Copies of this chain bind each other. A is one copy, B any other.
Amino acid sequence: MKDPLEELGSHLKRKGLRLTEERKKLVQLILSMKGHFSPEELLKHVKTKRLPISRATIYRILPVLVSAEIIQQSLLTEGQTRFEVTWNKDHHDHLICTYCNKVIEFQHNTIEIMQREIANRYGFILEHHVMELMGRCKDCRN
């Protein structure tokens, strides 16, 4: 498994784009963060770390990182787009507590297989999917 910066670099080269300081710094910051983030949350981290990256640049870099398959859009959004890191991670779905907003990641191969069957049945070529289970977690159920 390559280094994420090399990954990004070769992706950019393939597309005739450039590996700028801003892109390098932002990828490193994102990979150092746990969990999911919105552009505005990311901006806060950038400000906290005093990285010289503007809001506009963040909004412009995020789609590049998606197409480089380092991050992906994630979760049902309320107002803000959310992203999560996919680089070097297995696919998973989410359990979300509707009370404390805790997010648990899980995998379930049988469901994945069934999803492909459903897609086939309707003549679809499956590209990706979202499955999110919402409820009260064990700390919030009373």
Residues of A within 8 A of B (CB): 73, 76-77, 95, 97-98, 104, 106, 108, 110-111, 114-115, 118-119, 122-138, 141
CB-contact partner of A114 in B108, B132, B135, under 8 A: B108
Q: Are A122 and B136 touching (Cβ within 8 A)?
A: no
Report how many copies the assembly holds: 2
Contact partner of A133 (CB less than 8 A), chosen from B110, B115, B133, is B115
- In the docked arrangement, what's the CA distance between A119 and B98, Å? 13
Considering the chains assembled together, what is the distance between the CA atoms of A87 and B95 in angstroms? 26
Closest to A126 in B: B135
Q: A95-B122, A122-B106 given as contacts; is B130 within 8 A of A136 (CB)? A: no
